[in-house]
């Protein structure tokens, strides 16, 4: 999985198709990501010591294959590629459409 926390992504499949948001959390073992404002579910919470109970709305995880990174230049979804930075010699992420550096 090539996504990191803080990446801006667009949903390409499902009921929230077309929505954009930033990644809050990644679950690499399950190949899932949590995107803010996308895939909102209701959770019934019992009251605990200091917190009150009720019905909360939280973001649930979606499969990483259902999101694409937003290209900084075109503001549309694109795939992620890798290349070696000539200055530092480190592996960096780039966008496939415009070859913009992501990191």
Task: Mark whether 31 and 77 lie in a shared domain.
Answer: no
For 2-36, the pLDDT digits (tens) are 999 999 999 999 999 999 999 999 999 999 999 99
Task: Mark whether 47 and 65 lie in a shared domain.
Answer: yes
For 51-95, the pLDDT digits (tens) are 899 999 999 999 999 999 999 999 999 999 999 999 999 999 999
Which pLDDT score, from 0 to 100, does residue 1 have? 86
- H-run or E-run covering 54: strand 54-59
Residue 103 lies in domain: 71-103
pTM for this structure?
0.85
Q: How far apart are CA 42 and CA 20, in angstroms?
A: 20
For 43-56, the pLDDT digits (tens) are 999 999 898 999 99
| Structural domain total, the chain | 2
Q: How far apart are CA 88 and CA 98, in angstroms?
A: 21
Task: Mark whether 62 and 95 lie in a shared domain.
Answer: no
Structure tokens at 40: 């909102």
Task: Mark whether 83 and 35 lie in a shared domain.
Answer: no
Task: Mark whether 28 and 58 lie in a shared domain.
Answer: yes
Q: How many CA atoms lie within 13 A of 79 on its CB side?
A: 4
The CATH number of whichever domain residue 49 belongs to comes to 2.30.30.30
Task: Mark whether 77 and 65 lie in a shared domain.
Answer: no
Task: Mark whether 34 and 15 lie in a shared domain.
Answer: yes
């Amino acid at each position: 999985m090539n996504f990191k926390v803080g990446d801006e992504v667009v949903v390409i499949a499902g009921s929230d198709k077309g929505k954009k948001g930033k990644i809050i959390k990644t679950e690499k073992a399950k190949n899932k990501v949590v995107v803010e404002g996308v895939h909102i579910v209701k959770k019934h919470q019992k009251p605990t010591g200091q917190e009150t109970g009720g019905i909360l709305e939280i973001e649930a995880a979606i499969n990483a294959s259902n999101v694409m990174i937003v290209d900084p230049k075109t503001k549309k979804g694109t795939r992620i590629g890798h290349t070696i930075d000539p200055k530092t010699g480190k592996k960096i992420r780039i966008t496939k459409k415009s070859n913009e550096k992501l990191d």
